[in-house]
């Protein structure tokens, strides 16, 4: 059977774009549809604008710190309008880069919605149908509002980048990646931040000691963090408010949590199960180790599969898909030992097992130190950092590394190489320290602080 294209990609985010370009490089005829802006969540409403806001928010403490080092610098004020204009100009530039990369690779781009209508066919919003030997779904995730009265009154994380002006105060509900990062960003930009989280500690799933230090630092910076607290309803008044369990008042705006990787809907024109594309309870597309669905011609990558919802992982999944399908090299996706960073202030960088998870697998040794770094200590600031290694007591392999510190994301990227390679504690010990640095503690800790 002759097909219009060899590959049709639904979704123009980081994973879909990478897969399309790599497939086109093999000589395949490729088309891609994106109904919104090219670049997806990461470029337009996620990683990139968020990190630029992290940078902007970090300058709030700079004048005071500079004065402690002898500089005569007055406190300044933040101009959201000026920053916002430059931010959106940068996002426009990056979107243009993505489009040019696709065009330069020979990928035909359809700037409209596409839906799956058959095992080898998609339909565009304008009614055009295109047949494809292979179809890749890379539609990403979307914010999901919680099921509570008047939830529509609150903001979701995507809305923050579009605000025409910053609120004077905000209530953030949630304790995951995005909630904590946004709390630190907005606090740094001068917004009065209150944060509610229903659990016992923020950043569930991360190392307990590390997330405890992050929570302590957030409070020290002025974030009014309440644990074991949730909202039960939203109400429209002179200013929006969240009704909290315990009777605590909300603030001028409420940022509701961004739901886990609730998949953007894939419209399958058939009754339930006709095509064999299985959808999980959270809306995710079920795939095997090669990102293949129950339909041999249909694959899915990225957040829509709800495996590991990170941009670099989606890109790796797209690369593995291309190698498997177009290069004749069956390549399963590797989700083991993925490093990640939470861009709070200070940042949390992590790779491998937490202390809690490692204990369940066998005997371990924990090497950890928490201290005031030289820069903070000299300035008289209370900030502390954490360097922590989890080591298998039997093999001596480093099972996990956890860092809470400024620029922890930069540090964990390098530490992750050693952990991924299977480095032992003795390999770390044999490495000469770079002095004076915070990270030198990773190679100078000699005695475990505890065993389990």
Catalytic residues: 435
| Strands, E assignment, 179-249 | 192-197, 224-227, 231-235, 241-244
DSSP string, 329-354: -------SS--EEE-SSSEEEEEE--
Please tell me the distance from the alpha carbon of residue 427 to that of residue 406, in angstroms, as a whole number: 25
- List helix spans (H) across 189-250: 208-220
Please tell me the distance from the alpha carbon of residue 65 to that of residue 190, in angstroms, as a whole number: 17
Please tell me the distance from the alpha carbon of residue 175 to that of residue 66, in angstroms, as a whole number: 32
* C-alpha 323: how far from chain center: 25
Give the 3-state secondary structure of residue 386. strand
* C-alpha 148: how far from chain center: 25
Give the 3-state secondary structure of residue 196. strand
Residues 6+ apart with CB under 8 A from 408: 341, 346, 347, 348, 349
DSSP string, 131-164: EEEEEEE---B-----SSTTGGGSB-HHHHTT-S
Q: Are 364 and 395 in contact (CB under 8 A)?
A: no
DSSP string, 267-302: --SSSTTSS---B-TTSPBP--TTSB-SSTTEEE-G
Beta bridge partners of residue 33, listed in sequence order: 10, 110
Give the 3-state secondary structure of residue 399. strand
């Amino acid at each position: 059977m002759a097909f219009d294209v060899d590959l049709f990609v639904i979704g123009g985010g980081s994973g879909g774009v990478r897969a399309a370009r790599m497939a086109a490089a093999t000589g395949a005829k490729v088309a891609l549809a994106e109904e919104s802006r090219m670049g997806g969540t990461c470029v337009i409403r996620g990683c990139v604008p968020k990190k630029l806001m992290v940078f902007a928010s970090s300058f709030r403490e700079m004048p005071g710190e500079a004065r402690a080092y002898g500089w005569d610098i007055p406190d300044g004020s933040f101009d959201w309008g000026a920053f916002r204009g430059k931010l959106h100009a940068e996002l426009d530039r990056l979107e243009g880069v993505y489009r040019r990369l696709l065009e330069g690779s020979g990928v035909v781009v359809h700037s409209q919605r596409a839906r799956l209508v058959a095992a080898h066919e998609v339909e565009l919003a304008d009614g055009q149908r295109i047949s494809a030997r292979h179809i890749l779904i890379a539609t990403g995730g979307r914010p999901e509002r919680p099921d509570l009265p008047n939830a529509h009154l609150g903001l979701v994380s995507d809305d923050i980048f579009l605000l025409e002006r910053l609120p004077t105060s905000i209530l953030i509900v949630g304790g995951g990646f995005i909630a904590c990062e946004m709390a630190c960003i907005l606090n740094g930009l001068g917004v009065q931040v209150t944060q509610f989280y229903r659990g016992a500690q923020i950043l569930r799933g991360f190392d307990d000691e590390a997330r405890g230090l992050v929570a302590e630092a957030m409070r020290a910076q002025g974030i009014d963090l309440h644990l074991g607290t949730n909202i039960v309803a939203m109400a429209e008044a002179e200013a929006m408010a969240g009704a909290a369990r315990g009777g605590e008042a909300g603030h001028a705006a409420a940022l509701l949590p961004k739901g886990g990787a609730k998949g953007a809907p894939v419209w399958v024109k058939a009754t339930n199960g006709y095509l064999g594309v299985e959808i999980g309870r959270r809306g995710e597309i079920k795939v095997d180790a090669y990102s293949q669905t129950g339909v041999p011609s249909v694959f899915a990558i990225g957040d829509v599969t709800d495996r590991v919802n990170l941009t670099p992982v989606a890109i790796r999944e797209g690369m593995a898909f291309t190698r498997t399908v177009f290069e004749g090299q069956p390549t399963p996706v590797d989700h083991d030992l993925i490093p990640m960073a939470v861009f709070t202030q200070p940042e949390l960088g992590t790779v491998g097992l937490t202390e809690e998870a490692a204990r369940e697998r066998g005997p371990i040794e924990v090497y950890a130190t928490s201290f005031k770094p030289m820069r903070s200590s000299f300035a008289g600031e209370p900030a502390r950092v954490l360097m922590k290694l989890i080591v298998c007591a039997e093999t001596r392999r480093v099972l996990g590394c956890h860092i809470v510190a400024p620029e922890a994301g930069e540090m964990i990227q390098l530490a992750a190489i050693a952990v991924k390679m299977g480095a032992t504690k003795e390999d770390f010990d044999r490495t000469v320290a770079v002095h004076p640095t915070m990270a030198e503690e990773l190679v100078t800790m000699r005695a475990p602080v505890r065993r389990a």
